[in-house]
Amino acid sequence: MTTTTISEPSRPAIRANIPTAIRTNATRKSHCWENCLIFKTTALSGVKTSQGYIFLAMKKIRFIRLLFICLLSNPGFATGQTPDSAQANVEYTRLEDAFKEPEKVYRLNLSGQSFASFPDSLSKFVNLQYLSLRNDHLKLIPKEIGALKNLRVLDLSGNDFVVLPDEFANLTNLEELYLDNDLNLDLERDFKILGQLPNLKYLHLDNDGIKKLPRSIVLLKNLEKLYLNGNQLHRIPLELGELKKLNYLELKNNPIPVDRINELQNQGLRVVWQ
């Protein structure tokens, strides 16, 4: 095992463990995990890595016969992007900068900027994959948000809106939604909209003052993980067991009796409540 230091733009140097075997030209395929980044091999036919940002140093890579590269957990990377698209990892925090080339914006973090209203021109960010509007005191989520069809992660925590617009159902690629600290939510209605999202897997509803979970949550058929920490729930509807893909439920800091927890666990759910 050979250790080398790799410096990436805007990130500290990484001490990467690179197996000696993959540094030889005879190597055909390699499976790498953690911070194993490959820069010396000239005859690789494939690479798999579970950590990202390999593209940020793509100019250093000399893969002459590379046929495929599998990046299992790369923020900002999506099918269809070319290997030289380091732009996908750039996170914009100012609308003025993002609007200069909106089609090149993949990550937009506008947390804590207290918008009176969000600009209608939001729909210009056609390739946006990550959007954070956390703690912006928004009283209304604009219908234009439905135009962000490539969005995968959306954080709307800490706002003042009551309902999600009907156009929210157009976010068909959305996988993870944060609605933490949103005390005015109309969950009965919102769940009906979220139930139309075919790829929604992770839903965060921490600290929302929820006293009763609407049965309409069973409409979220593809949900895998649900976070309900810090609410006022005394019970969870057993209909939750109808969500066949749900395998993880967090219920910390809720006044739920132990027997109800046991019932949920008997349905095969992994419940974290202490």
Strand order in the sheet with 225-227: 91-92, 107-109, 130-132, 153-155, 176-178, 202-204, 225-227, 248-250, 270-272
Average pLDDT across the chain, whole number: 77
Alpha-carbon span 272 to 230, nearest angstrom: 12
pLDDT band at 162, cuts 50/70/90? very high
Distances (CA, A) of 233 to 50, 157, 217, 273: 37, 19, 14, 12
Backbone angles phi, psi at 233, to 5 degrees: -80, 125
Chain segment 102-120, per-residue pLDDT in tens: 999 999 999 998 877 777 7
For the record, the structure tokens of 170 come out as 């157009």
Per-domain residue ranges of the chain? 2-71, 86-272
pLDDT of res. 24: 38
Average pLDDT on 54-79 reads 43
pLDDT at position 226 is 98
Lowest mean per-residue pLDDT among 60-74, 154-168, 233-247: 60-74
Query: What token pair was written down for 248?
Result: 């993880």
Coil/strand/helix, residue 72: coil
Q: Which residue would you say has higher pLDDT here, 20 or 128? A: 128
What percentage of the chain carries pLDDT values higher than 70? 68
What phi and psi values does residue 200 have, to the nearest 5 degrees?
-70, 115
- For residue 37, pLDDT beyond 60: no
**DSSP string across 256-273:** --HHHHHHHHHTT-EEE-
| pLDDT at residue 3, as a whole number | 42
pLDDT at 165: 94
Most confident of 133-142, 179-188, 230-239: 179-188
pTM of the shown model: 0.70
More confident residue, 117 or 212: 212
Does the structure show a pLDDT above 70 at 53? Answer: no
Q: Please give the CATH architecture assigned to the domain spanning 86-272.
A: Alpha-Beta Horseshoe (3.80)
Contact 173, 196 (CB under 8 A): no
Poorest-pLDDT segment among 30-39, 113-122, 150-159, 259-268? 30-39
Per-residue pLDDT, 89 = 85
| pLDDT value for 85 | 55
pLDDT at site 40: 41
Number of H helices, E strands in the chain: 3, 14
Residue predicted with more confidence, 86 or 35: 86
The answer to whether residues 152 and 174 touch, using CB atoms and an 8 Å cutoff, is yes
Which whole-number Å values give the CA distances from 207 to 135, 196, 227, in the listed order?
Answer: 14, 24, 10
pLDDT at 54 over 90: no
pLDDT at position 21: 40
